Structures are given as C-alpha cells and as structure tokens.
Amino acid sequence: MRGIGKEFMDKTRYKHMEESDQSKGLPQPPLELPQEEGQMVIALPRPEKLALGHADLREVIEGRRSVRAYSEEPFTVEELSWLLWACQGVKDIVKRPATLRTVPSAGARHPFETYVLVNNVEGLTKGLYRFLASEHKLAAVNLDDDIADRVTEGCYKQRFVKDCAAAFIFTADLYRMYWRYGERGYRYMHLDAGHASQNLYLAAEAIGGGACAIGAFYDELLNRALGIDGENQFTVYVTTTGKKQ
Ligand SMILES: Cc1cc2nc3c(=O)[nH]c(=O)nc-3n(C[C@H](O)[C@H](O)[C@H](O)COP(=O)(O)O)c2cc1C
C-alpha cells in the first residue's frame, strides 16, 4: 500500500525527527487558549460537589454501546459538568507547567480545546460553547439560531449531532503538542482524542446516557462553523451524548 497515510507513518518515525522547539529552548505556549473579550462565561457546578457517576465500572464497560438515538430528556447542568470533567477536567496544574487531567496525554501536553454544541441542557441557551478547562467554566462562542445546523452539516450531515443533548468537539491547539514533539505530535493528538472520547462514553453510560464517536466530518466546514482557522487549531474528533431512549 502506498499513499499519504503510509508516508505519514514513515515520516513520523523517530529517525526522521528533528530537534523540537522545546529542545531548542523556545518558550512553551500557554496551557489553554485565552478567553476572548466580551464573551459570556458560565461557571459550571464544581466537579468535587457532584453526586454523580458512582456506578459499577464493570457494568458501565459492559453497557457501553454507540448510541445515536437519544431521548428528549435534557441533561442537567450538573450532568454536563460531569461529562466535561470526565473527558477533559483539570485535576491539578503542576510546575512544568502542565495540566493533569482526567485523561492521559502524551507529555501532559493536553492539546485540546473542547467545544460543546448545547442542544438540550436544562437552563443553558442552545448554541456553541468552549470549555475553559482550568476554571471549569463555559464560554459562549456562537448562540446564533443556525449554529446547530452548521455543526451538523460539518459532521457529514449526521442528523443525530443536532438531535443529541450535547455534542463535544475536540479541537487541537497544534503548537501545544508540536512544541514538544514536532511532526510526531500529530500522531499523539489523535491518540489523545481516543482517551477523551472513551471517557465520555463511560461517563455518559454511568448517568443513564449514551455517546457516539464521530470521525466523519468535513474539516473545512466544521472548523469554519466553530470559528477556528483549521491550521493552528482544527477538529480532531467529535462525540455526541444524550439520555438513552
Ligand atoms: C474513530 C471512530 C470514528 C467513528 N465515526 C463514526 C461516525 O462518524 N458516525 C457514526 O455513526 N459512528 C461512528 N463511530 C462509531 C462506530 O461506528 C462504533 O463504535 C462501531 O460501530 C462499534 O459499535 P459500538 O461502539 O456500539 O461498540 C466511530 C467510532 C470510532 C472509534
């Protein structure tokens, strides 16, 4: 087999790696993208106060399936807080500096900026938000009426993106990973995304919900809908969630 995929795997072998920006002594980028001026910010219920998710691990793993049809029952803000914490929550900020989260990440680079398309969460206006992981808050990004349609269109027109309670869109802020690992960092970002999505599956299952991973998306359309440039920041993975029918 020959093609761009094989070339990618070949060229990201260690033998081809050049000195990284970290090794050259260049400064480390910030742990998260800054909040934009004038953005509405919503504090989420603190994870340590949530009485949620105390489920039997074996049952949760056995029960997990990809769920594409959801009930009309909304998530509560507590449940959304739980899901965000489970997939990207910050447990500690250590000296390096680096965040330590509920999921592993190569070199603790944690390259993701997580967007949430809120369709059906009690007390939250529908629209697109960004998770401010260190503060455990949500920043409103786009509350236009057509945003759910635009994100759905970007997700290969998969209808359940609009019909779920909340869709999580994991975008990578490339340089956070690239600074340490160079071209090989592209591999690690995609590996990291699997952990985030899997935690979301399990966390949803633990509260009577379900999830479905989405790898089929039109990069340009989706990145444009999110308002990100697709070069320095781009979508890696999407996961829908909602209560089971
Ligand atoms: C990387 C990846 C991409 C996926 N993309 C999609 C997708 O775009 N649309 C979809 O409906 N399901 C998608 N799925 C879900 C798979 O179809 C599902 O995991 C598979 O059929 C096995 O079913 P199960 O998850 O219920 O065990 C994806 C799963 C993974 C891991």
Pocket of ligand 1 (CB under 6 A): 65-66, 68, 158, 212-216
CA distances from 171 to 51, 69, 145, 148, 211 (A): 29, 24, 22, 17, 18
Residue nearest to atom 9 of ligand 1 (CA): 214
Q: What residue owns the CA closest to ligand 1's atom 29?
A: 213
What local confidence, expressed as pLDDT, does residue 241 receive?
A: 98
Measured from the Cα of 68, ligand 1's closest atom is 11
Please check whether residue 28 lies inside any domain of the structure. Answer: no
HSE of 13, CA atoms in CB hemisphere, 13 A: 7
Number of domains within the chain: 1
pLDDT digits (tens, 9 = 90+) for 174-220: 999 999 999 999 999 999 999 999 999 999 999 999 999 999 999 99
Calpha distance 23→26 (Å, rounded): 8
Residue 34 in domain: no
Establish if 92 belongs to a structural domain: yes
Distance 47 CA to ligand 1 centre (A): 28
Side chain identity at 185, as an amino acid letter? Answer: G
- What's the gap in Å between 105 CA and the centre of ligand 1? 22
If you measure from the C-alpha of residue 22 to the centroid of ligand 1, how many angstroms do you get, rounded to a whole number?
A: 36
Q: Is residue 210 part of a domain?
A: yes
Domain range for 79: 39-243
Pocket test for ligand 1, best of 60, 64, 65, 66 (most atoms within 8 A of CB): 66
Is residue 203 in a domain? Answer: yes
pTM value is 0.98
How confident is the model at residue 199, as a pLDDT?
A: 98
Report which DSSP code applies to 38: T
Asked whether residue 104 is assigned to any structural domain, the reply reads yes
129 backbone φψ class: left, alpha, beta (φ>0; ψ -120 to 50): beta
Say if CB 166 and CB 70 are below 8 A apart.
no
CA angle (171 as vertex; 166, 174 as ends), nearest 5: 170
Which pair of structure tokens corresponds to residue 67? 């769920």
Give the span between the Cα atoms of 227 and 223, in whole angstroms.
Answer: 6
Q: Is residue 14 part of a domain?
A: no
List, in sequence order, every beta strand (DSSP E) within the chain: 41-43, 90-94, 98-101, 112-118, 127-132, 137-142, 166-173, 209-214, 233-243
Record the tokens describing residue 120, joined without a space. Answer: 């059906």
Nearest CA to ligand 1 atom 23: 66
Q: What is the pLDDT of residues 40-71, one digit of tens each?
A: 999 999 999 999 999 999 999 999 999 999 99
Band (pLDDT 50/70/90 cuts) for residue 1 is confident
Residue 168 lies in a domain: yes
CA 59 to chain centroid? 25
Atom of ligand 1 nearest to the CA of 67: 26
118-174 tens-digit pLDDT: 999 999 999 999 999 999 999 999 999 999 999 999 999 999 999 999 999 999 999
Q: Which protein residue's CA is at the shortest distance from atom 14 of ligand 1?
A: 213
The tokens describing 119, both together, are 């369709």
Rg (CA), the chain: 18
Task: Round to whole Å and give the CA distance between 117 and 97.
Answer: 30
Q: What is the CATH number of the domain that holds 108?
A: 3.40.109.10
Q: Are 208 and 242 in contact (CB under 8 A)?
A: no
Nearest-CA residue for atom 25 of ligand 1: 66
Q: Amino acid identity of 50?
A: L
Question: In terms of Cα–Cα distance, which of 74, 82, 73 is closest to 45?
Answer: 82
CB proximity list for 72: less than 8 A, separation 6 or greater = 120
